[in-house]
Structure 1
Amino acid sequence: MAKQDSTSINLEALSERIGADKAPGTAPKWDFSPDDCATFDIRIGRDGTWYHQGGPIRRKNMCKLFSTVLRRSKDGRYFLITPVEKGEISVDDAPFTAVEIIVDGHGRDQTLTFRTNLDHLVVADASHPIRVSEDLETGEPSPYILVRDELEALILRPQFYQLVEIAEEFDINGKTTLGVWSAGHFFELGAA
């Protein structure tokens, strides 16, 4: 089936359908074909703000609910997927932002727990790695942590500086790098 044109959606109605089909604390997995989806006028800004028809969605609980049905396709596109409706949305950078870091312990024994703008708690570990992408033109770092299912949170600048403050030098293949430990894993932040 061909991709549908942009769809005007009623956020309240969509929210009710999601809530009716979702058990608390679950992230349902519905099969879908990206080519068989509408385009919703929803955008997630680089700062984590959700927008509908150009205006911010002010109800955090609605954004939290929508985030439970957010999916990323293999080609990097983002979709809201419910049993009833499927629609592509636009995401400026990452769908979440990391707004707080809770540090427990020190050095190799520490655990870093990130809280996102939608109150997801994520421990940096082998399943939820931290990565840093560097802008090729400016050299500016953009750090991320994997939240779930190919969905990342952009680690905001104050939290990145917090990571740099607790970072340690570590030798990897004869190259000294700066990074942080969490849950027994070392995550590179950049060259030392």
Structure 2
Amino acid sequence: MSNLEQLEKLLKDQRGQPPIEKWQPELSGDIDIRLCADGRWIHEGGEIKRHELVKLFASILRREEDGEYYLVTPVEKWRVQVEDLPLLVVDFEVAEADQSGAQRIVVKTNVDSWFELGENHPLKVEADKNTDEPRPAVLTRHGLWARINRASFYRLVELAEQDGEELVLRTSGGVFSLGRLS
């Protein structure tokens, strides 16, 4: 199986996601779940260690127009706390797209979801207000952004090229600025 075929399989294996965009229950209240900046999920002070349970909760998580994060079912909606962003990008795969030679980049989150960088899943890099360090993120689904971990970001930088005063990552899905060169 070619690298491109493997990427297609990763993306197709995610079918069957709950249709939470159709669910509009009233707020049930706050639930004592905190999503930590390092990707851990904490419930009532203890870490949820079962990866499959975290994946299940992540599949019903969305961010709404009020900027808050909610776990949503057809009949309940519970607000959760998020320290930074609710998900992490922990890895990615690259393949050539077609005769144009544009690379396709598919990122993997800490809950085993895959998203191809492009118009629907853009990459953005903002500078930390205190340290000026880059804070890269990718839009996933349901208004959720995933912070790109340091190792993956450095690997993306290796794929980037200089364009004037910027470092840019060119993919079959678009061109993304990784920041200004100093």
TM-score (norm: length of structure 2): 0.84
Give the AA of the match of 2:68: R
**Alignment correspondent of 1:127:** 120
Give the Cα separation in 2 of the matches to 1:52 and 1:184.
37
SS in 2 for 1:148: coil
Indicate conservation of the 8 Å contact 2:25/2:75, yes or no. Answer: no
Structure 1: gaps (5+ residues) = 1-22
Structure 2: gaps (5+ residues) = 1-14
SS in 1 for 2:20: coil
Give the root-mean-square deviation of aligned CA atoms: 1.9
**Alignment correspondent of 2:178:** 189
1:157 aligns with 2:150: yes
How many corresponding residue pairs? 164
Moved over 4 A (4+): none
| Equivalent residue for 2:80, pick from 89, 92, 100 | 89
Q: Which has the larger radius of gyration?
A: 1
Where in structure 2 are the equivalents of 1:4-153 lying within 5 Å? 24-29=16-21, 30-33=23-26, 36-105=27-96, 109-153=102-146
**Alignment correspondent of 1:20:** none
Give the AA of the match of 1:53: E
Deviation of the 1:108 alpha carbon: 6.3
Q: CA 1:139–1:61 in 2, change beyond 3 Å: closer, same or farther? A: same
Give the AA of the match of 1:105: E
TM-score (norm: length of structure 1): 0.79
Deviation of the 1:70 alpha carbon: 0.6
Share of identical aligned residues, percent? 38
